[in-house]
Structure 1
Amino acid sequence: MNRSGKFTAVLLCSAILVACGQDTDQELVAPGAGQETVVRAQVPGLSEDYAKLRKQQVASVDYRLSVTLDAERDHFSGQVIADTRLNGKPTQPLTVDFSGGSVDSVRVNDREVPFTYNDYFISIAPEYLRAGENAIAIRYQHPYSTDGSGLHRFRDPEDGNVYMYTDFEPYDANRLFPHFDQPNLKAHYTLDVTAPKDWTIITSVREQKVEEKGDKKLWQFPQSAKFSSYIFSLHAGPFRVWEDETDGIPLRLMARRTLAEYVKPEDWFKFTKQSFEFFQPYFDIDYPFVKYDQVIVPDFNAGAMENVAAVTFNEAYVSRGEKTEAQRMRLANVIAHEMAHMWFGDLVTMNWWDDLWLNESFATYMANLSLARNSEFKNAWENFYLGTKQWAYRADQLPTTHAIQLPVHNTDEAFANFDGITYGKGGSILKQLPYYLGEEKFRLGVSNYLKDLSYSNSTLDDFMGHLGKAADKDLQQWQQQWLYQPGLNTLSAQFQCDNGKVAGLTLIQTGPEEYPTLREQRTQLGFYNLEGGSMVLKEVLPVMYSGASTNVAAAKGLDCPQILNPNEGDWAFVKVNLDSTSVDNMKRHINDIEKPFTRLMLWQNLYDSFYDGKLPLNQYLHFVLENAGTERDINVIRLVARHLGSTFRYLNQVDMNESRREELQLAIETFVWQQLQQSEAGSDAQKTWFGTFTDVAKSDGALANARDLLLGERKLDGLTLDPDRRWDLIYLQNAHLYSDYQQAIDRELARDNSDRAQLKAIASEAVRPLPEAKAKWLQNILEHREDFKLSQLRYAADNLFPASQVTLYDDNAEQIISAIGAVNATASPEYIGTFTDLFPLNCSEAGVQQLTAILEGGEQLNPLMEKSLKNRRYDNQRCVDMGQLLTHASAD
């Protein structure tokens, strides 16, 4: 997440580094006595090779940081003193990371010294440093960020108040202050901040002293614990503050004032306390820091960030209406996820970004375990399957799938690995490890790992070694199969029956051609049979399987199943192919299946058949419309509703007869409207179907219903149109240029001028199928991005070319493609992610070929851009294949 910019070098005379008048575009090279020559290229980001060198140079470091914040200026200033102990007399330059600022002076051991600064890092020649202790003092200035990373500045449009927060992972802490920005150079931090007098300042410790200085206050903080700089924090502003405590730990929750009325602190503190109640005894380590703050911030690029004792959360977790239980559970889950990081990531931190999964996979698993064991949510693992695990399965079937543990050569590559493999697949395989090792042995291994490596850095071998020792098991084979090999295996069951009893049962495991590794893991077989009109789970059989086939001798003699689920209870990370008997009975009895979790898995299995091109879209849709209307489990409803939305979008694109397309889309729209009308008033099902209705409404009748709901001329009992749902209806009007779509935006902004409303207004304008709307926002995104916050550009890019407007994309494709070189060369990863959203689902051979030409054009693409475009090409090709299957099915 590093910030790039136009290269500007500050050239000062230094005999070792750059001679006066030398071309500053050359790399800085310094031969070391008896050492290999080391080069740090003058590029943004940090390479693993250079980080290793600097770890050898720097034995330890602590920082004393002073920052001055001003609400009205476009930049902040500061001084950092890095108390640095060097391993011997340096023979090569020492570089200090600092991206995009300006450097006023550098002093080493109370002596001002020459330096060079290239907009990415400061270089200090070795003759100005000594073996052992050095005090490196740097005075600097830096602009506030508008892209949600570094030190981000936000002005609330409702009351004019200014708020600031930091977001650093993986490589943006150096946008707050110059330092050694790599995870294995942990440090203590001592901070003081001068800021407007009505602001609250938040960091990893509580303030020890606050002094008034005119219209400012000076906040002084004691030295922190030792941790990596990417989890250091500085948040500031006139926050509304709620306070509580648990087990002697002070708790605070903060939000901007205009959002405060919508925050439900009782939920936040409840979920926080439940997480502490679970994690402290599970890890057998008391919470390692002195307080626990949670700060809700605008324009945030992620869901949340585990800054030590000062966690930041996206404002999306605050609803301006009544939350569904699923939304409440998502909040509880993210609170638990970030808290798990306090031990796993903050107390013990990966040595380098190749072990990112050690942080994220573990927090993902532990959050769900915490909810399952100590919360009001009794279907936590069903939600894990519905959300996180499906994300992982999809990511593992993409052409950009990768091993959980993989080389990361630089921080740009690290940024690209925050994905469904690192979070979802890693969390899923950790979920099955306790079944493999035993729950208590797994817990003991984790606890010992954290105790032995507290306040230190670790590697994969450290973690796996502690687990193996606790379980007295060699995990090398497991590690090779699961952590070093990508790809998703498929599991199916073959069984024969005699006289109503199983005569033989074999589990068959396969792998994709490009990733043929077959793995060992535990699963459960669920045997279902009709009994009294219900499809009942009659037997559950735990099995360890491996290799291409596993004979399940224990199944012999059991009642012959009508449905056999090879992954009952979702123990295994594997894709399931049901046998033909089970498929036939599932289709005839899906509503008779007693267990909601099994119905959920079978509905997903059916969608997978469509998604994998085995079941034509029209046949899948017919089954859904025939059977989904009587479902009452909210998780199954959420799954089916989500899949109907996806199917509708595919119908916008696949090559088919236009009258047939309209017929199928109208069938979806009609079904969804019926479910919305028939759902229990105020229920989560009603809220779910409303969200799907705004995704699929297209006919004049549906759009009229949407307009009447917005104007209050039509009401559905129990459905409250909070501000966010109102914007969903306005967006729908604009997407179809229906009725007074522009006036709808103006009316709503007059009653709701919040930042969220303004972003929704941008999305509503960008989605209009008008050439002038596309031209305006495309120009803003490509040519005037400095005039907008990244959040504004993201809302525009996300909505500029939906799948139903591909012809409008085609009209602008040349302009977008021609911008790739400039974006790739100069833009931040955050902006690159926004730019790639301009490429729509383009279900045509031409769309596939267009992306192929870009990817094979010979230009070195940023890892994030390359990954996004490869995935989009894959989606386009899959959509083409779906259309061909539909055409063949219609012909048959």
Structure 2
Amino acid sequence: MSTNLAANLTREETAARSAALSLRSIRVELDVSAAPDPDETGFITNTTLRFGATAEQTWIDFIGQSVDRVVVNGVDHPVIWDGARIVVTGLADDNEVRIEAVGAYSRSGEGMHRFVDPVDGETYLYTQYEPADSRRVMACFEQPDMKAAYTFVVTSPTGWEILSNQRAVVTTGGGSAQTVEFAETLPMSSYITAVAAGPYHRVHDVWTRGNQRVEMRALCRASLAEHLDHREIFEITRQGLDFFTDAFGVDYPWGKYDQIFVPEYNLGAMENPGLVTFTEQLVFRGASTDAQHEVRANTILHEMAHMWFGDLVTMTWWDDLWLKESFADYMGSHASVAATRFSDAWATFANRRKAWAYEQDQLPSTHPIVADIPDLEAAKLNFDGITYAKGASVLKQLVAFVGEEAFFAGSRAYFRDHAYGNTTLDDLLVALEAASGRDLRAWSRAWLETSGMSTLRFNEDRTAIVQSDPRPHRLRVGLFAEQNGSLVRTGQIDLDIADASTSIELPADADLALINDGDLTYAKVRLDDRSLTAVERGLATIDEALTRGLVWSALWNAVRDGQLGALRYLEIVRRHAPAERNVSILAGTLANAAFTVEHYLPAELRDGARPAWLDTVWQGLASAAPGSDAQLSWARALGRAAAFHDGRAGELRAILAGDQPGPDGLPLDADLRWVWVQALAATGAADETDIRAELARDDTMSGRTEATEALAARPTVDVRAAAWNAAWTDETLSNDHLGATIAGFGAGGRRDLISQFDEEYFVRIRETWQTRSIETARRLVRGMFPETETLDLVDAWLDDNVAAPGALRRLVVEQRDHLARGLAVRAANS
């Protein structure tokens, strides 16, 4: 049996296991003292599990290099291990099982990730588990409803920082190794335990509130220390702890609050109690926009919300993943607005985060927020736009429905009644119904237990709002009149709708009537002809960022659905994006416009649109205020556009070489230089010598990753073939370098260089799914999917692989839908 198959736990078998066992405590002893030795591929991991049992036999989860000894209640037991499950027999009412094993260091961000910093040669370790990779570090029961008190004991090279969920209580050793034992944790699930070790740079602070005193630390690699703006990180952390302590009525339960920024992370952040991990991309080594700082603040607050939603109270199984992720996504924006300087966070959410939800909810794989998750492979794929952004959008509607005071009162009761336990949807509904006095069962069926979305629009004479796929909405219609060349708010209409058509009376001067003004509900909104005309003339004159974000969102959804011509949309962007004041909305709009050129225009129009779009962003950069966030956003967009057309290659080369001055105030730091170098590489205007010279300027982790992408982007058949082979076969590539290789392979939309691999893709993917980790296989299946001009190859694969793993088929079906949408929209724009 392949490890991948053995590793895929099902809902039914894990429910049976938790019913038969009562887990009490787990002690994990890790020895990573040899980690700096590149020849050492594994680490010692010894685990002692204490639990009660009503069954004579069970299995314990572990994926690693070897299982060397199993001791059950003091007696050596045969090692029965298939690569993922250790079978133990002879269980009694009370049991102590000790498993001595060797785990494997990871380069994919799954389990114990090991990284060597090219700047100083130092080695760094950290763990990442969700949903089911703690078994790559320790023997455990890998399911969220089997909580335990954990004690971690870690041996590392002397002088390293060693961290875990709790405080260190005993440190021993001498010479080359040290051992740290951490205090026992409160009951928690295996996937939120954590360990980090290495010569991390550390900064201290403290948060106090009444009798509470929480030690805070921020950590990163030593070579990034100068870029760690810990003051803002701690400020946001303090603001969040103040807000959530008041809002949830439960003191922060996990003792300390460490936040560590780690290299080669395969996601944004993870809510490990007491040791939150973040991607290093949130440590800004170059110029950064306010939008980037807003994203970081939102991420800090999102993970902090999990300390209650997810960590204190945890879903029973991954069906109710939304019980933590939807809430954290909502709370990230809500707390940003309520407690920090980022008062436009809901505008960012409406314009960018919900776009993810709308896209996901229109795929054939769409699912209810409360999803059917039969196994771990399905769970991995459900960390998606529905579970996060749609769920958060629906919670915003729920808050409007029951009232904010009742919502937080219900949350406080939920935490009080289920602290350190596991819950399902019904537990939350009971708490919210008691607090609000409302029957939420019908609301839940309409919003949480169904899939898809409504589309809201006016009828032809603007006397009714027409709704497809009817649901109950509490929403607002914003009214705007054109006055002296500007769109000025003149009023609003609040109403509840539930039917396919709801009457409304608009005033005569409503040049723009915006359905879902304030973004209270979750639905696609169409602009009627009069409103679209008004927007074309005056979008940038609207005062409120949230309103502009909603208009931009409506335009983008119309383009994706083939309801608004792509060229007309690009003209709106050209006219109004230069005046957009919210940098997050601006960045999102520029990205959508670039996507439109490459995916929604037929070939005969795309050839002309590429230089036109390049000129648009060049002019946008020239007109942006020196040193502004907008200027940096236009400069990044210029790099993306220049990868598809070489019309500005000479100027970019000259600016990079210092032979021509760049725009006044533009910070031409390493990050921006790489964006431009990669663009030049994709069009053949930068060669290997140029790329390696740039790498010599920036021989860091980031520089090496960016150079990998640039080298793979060079527009020759041989280079792209080498990138293809490396992506599929080189298992030494880290997750970052795999992603860079994939990006380089597809750079510049050069189908003429890569279409030769279309058929081979469909030959490779099933074996890849069986032999590589889920994270790696998912990157390959999505990233290497061929952008063909027909659906023939993908349909043939789906027909021939009906029995393929469900999670793999889902990915292919989703990619097929993206391709089909692109083909349909291109046809509509012909």
Q: In the alignment, what sits opposite 2:593?
A: 644
Equivalent residue number for residue 74 of structure 2:
110
**Aligned partners of 1:236 and 1:359: how far apart in 2?**
28
Does the Cα contact within 8 Å between 1:803 and 1:840 map onto a contact in 2?
A: no
1:527 to 479, 501, 507: 479
Select the residue among 282, 286, 297 that pairs with 2:251: 286
2:23 aligned with 1:60: yes
The equivalent residue for 1:709 is 655
Counterpart pick for 2:689 among 743, 746, 749: 743
Q: How far apart are the structure 1 equivalents of 2:60 and 2:822?
A: 48
Return the alpha-carbon distance in structure 2 between the equivalents of residues 315 and 290 of structure 1: 24
Larger Rg: 1
- The 5 A counterparts of 1:478-877 are 478-494=443-459, 505-511=463-469, 518-552=470-504, 555=505, 558=507, 560-650=509-599, 654-657=601-604, 660-697=605-642, 698-714=644-660, 715-738=662-685, 740-785=686-731, 787-802=732-747, 804-840=749-785, 842=787, 844-845=789-790, 848-877=791-820
Deviations 1:561-585 (A, max 9, x none): 2211111111111111122222232
**Which residue in 2 is equivalent to 1:165?**
126
Q: State whether residues 290 and 583 of structure 2, in contact with CA within 8 Å, keep that contact through their aligned partners in structure 1.
A: no
Q: How many angstroms apart in 2 are the aligned matches of 1:536 and 1:523?
A: 20
Deviation of the 1:798 alpha carbon = 2.7
SS in 1 for 2:648: helix
Whole-angstrom distance in 2 between the partners of 1:643 and 1:467: 38
Residue 692 of structure 1 deviates from its aligned partner by: 0.6
SS across alignment from 1:212: strand
How has the CA–CA distance of structure 1 residues 797 and 591 changed in structure 2, closer, same or farther, with 3 Å as cutoff?
closer
C-alpha distance after superposition, 1:484-525 (max 9, x if no partner): 1110111123486xxxxxxx84221112xxxxxx21021011
Query: Aligned runs of 1:434-445 on 2, under 5 Å?
Result: 434-445=399-410
Letter in 2 for 1:811: Q
Look up the match of 1:145. 106
CA deviations 1:117-158 (Å, max 9, x no partner) are 111111012xx2212x11111111111112111111111111
- Provide closer, same or farther for how the CA distance between residues 308 and 560 of structure 1 changes in structure 2, counting only shifts above 3 A: same
Alignment match, 1:239: 200
Question: Residue 241 and residue 54 in structure 1: after superposition, are their counterparts in 2 closer, same or farther (change >3 A)?
Answer: same
1:180 pairs with 134, 141, 152, which one? Answer: 141
How far apart are the structure 1 equivalents of 2:59 and 2:581?
A: 61
Higher deviation after alignment, 267-276 or 792-801:
792-801
Cα–Cα, structure 1 residues 75 and 635, in superposed 2: closer, same or farther, change >3 Å? closer
Q: Which moved more, 1:798-807 or 1:68-77?
A: 798-807
Work out whether residues 798 and 837 of structure 1, in 8 Å CA contact, stay in contact via their aligned partners in 2: no
Look up the equivalent residue of 2:384 and give its one-letter code.
D
Of the three residues 94, 103, 111, the one matched with 2:58 is 94
Structure 2 vs 1, CA of residues 252 and 635 (structure 1 numbering), >3 Å: closer, same or farther?
closer
How far 1:803 sits from its partner (Å)? 6.3
Q: In the TM superposition, what is the alpha-carbon distance from 1:880 to its structure 2 partner?
A: 1.7
Deviation at 1:811, TM superposition (A): 1.1
8 Å CA contact 2:761, 2:785 repeated in 1: no
C-alpha displacement at 1:751, in angstroms?
Answer: 2.0
Contact map agreement 2:512 2:530 (CA 8 A) in 1: yes
Question: Deviation of residue 633 (structure 1)?
Answer: 4.3
Superposition pairs of residues 366-515 of structure 1, within 5 angstroms: 366-494=331-459, 505-511=463-469
Give the counterpart letter for 1:63 in structure 2.
I
Give the whole-Å Cα distance in 2 for the aligned partners of 1:329 and 1:609: 27
Separation of aligned partners in 2, 1:886 and 1:834:
31
User: In structure 2, what is the equivalent of residue 210 of structure 1?
Assistant: 171
Q: Is the 8 A contact 1:641 1:692 kept in 2?
A: yes
3-state DSSP class of the match of 1:117? coil
CA contact (8 A) 1:194 1:218 kept: yes
State the Cα distance separating 1:245 from its structure 2 match.
Answer: 0.5
Q: CA deviation at 1:470?
A: 0.6
Amino acid at match of 1:56: A
What is the one-letter code of the residue matched to 2:255?
Answer: V
Q: Distance in 2 between matches of 1:783 and 1:297?
A: 26
The answer to whether the 8 Å contact 2:597/2:606 transfers is: no
The CA distance in 1 between the partners of 2:717 and 2:459, in whole Å, is: 56
SS of 2:7's partner is: coil
User: CA RMSD for the aligned pairs?
Assistant: 1.9
1:6 Cα deviation from its structure 2 partner: 5.4
TM-superposed deviation, 1:674: 0.9
Question: Distance in 2 between the 1:687 and 1:350 partners?
Answer: 41
Q: Distance in 1 between matches of 2:308 and 2:293?
A: 24
CA 1:564 to 1:756, structure 2 compared with 1: closer, same or farther past 3 Å? same
Q: Is the 8 A contact 2:758 2:786 kept in 1?
A: no
Q: Distance in 1 between matches of 2:442 and 2:637?
A: 45
Q: Is this contact kept in 2: 1:604–1:639, CA < 8 A?
A: no
**What is the CA-CA distance between 1:853 and the residue it aligns to?**
1.3
Q: CA deviation at 1:336?
A: 0.4
Contact in 1 for aligned 2:759/2:793 (Cα 8 Å): no
Aligned to 1:27: none
Question: Which of 87, 99, 112 lines up with 1:123 in the alignment?
Answer: 87
Separation in 1, partners of 2:110, 2:716: 33
Summarize deviations over 1:74-118 as a string: whole Å, max 9, x none. Answer: 2111221111112x3x24x21011113311111122111224111
Report the alpha carbon displacement of residue 840 of structure 1 after superposing the two structures with TM.
4.7
Does the CA-based 8 Å contact 1:78-1:177 persist in structure 2? Answer: yes
- Flag the 1:5–1:752 CA change in 2: closer, same or farther, 3 A: farther
CA distance in 1, matches of 2:62, 2:309: 27
Between the aligned partners of 1:410 and 1:465, the Cα distance in structure 2 is 27
Mean CA deviation greater in 325-334 or 803-812: 803-812
2:45 & 2:571 partners in 1: Cα distance?
Answer: 64
Q: Structure 1 counterpart of 2:193, which letter?
A: F
In the superposition, the TM-score normalised over structure 1's length comes to 0.89
- Aligned partners of 1:154 and 1:591: how far apart in 2? 46
Partner of 1:501: none
Shift of 1:843: 5.3
SS in 2 for 1:343: coil
**What is the number of equivalent residue pairs in this alignment?**
820
CA distance in 2, matches of 1:795, 1:197: 34
1:17-56 → structure 2 map (5 Å cutoff)? 43-56=6-19
Which residue in the other structure is 2:51 paired with?
Answer: 84
Give the one of 869, 878, 890 matched to 2:821: 878
Change (3 A) 1:109 1:591: closer
Unaligned runs of 5+ in 2: none
Deviation at 1:708, TM superposition (A): 1.4
Pairwise CA distance, 1:469 = 1.2
CA–CA separation in structure 1 for the residues paired with 2:541 and 2:253: 50
Secondary structure of the residue that 2:127 maps to in structure 1?
strand
Query: What is the distance in 2 between the residues matched to 1:545 and 1:390?
Result: 23
Q: Which amino acid aligns with 2:26?
A: Y
CA distance in 2, matches of 1:184, 1:49: 13
Distance 1:603 1:129, change over 3 A: closer
Instruction: Out of 813-822 and 714-723, give the one that drifted further.
Output: 813-822
CA distance in 2, matches of 1:232, 1:852: 42
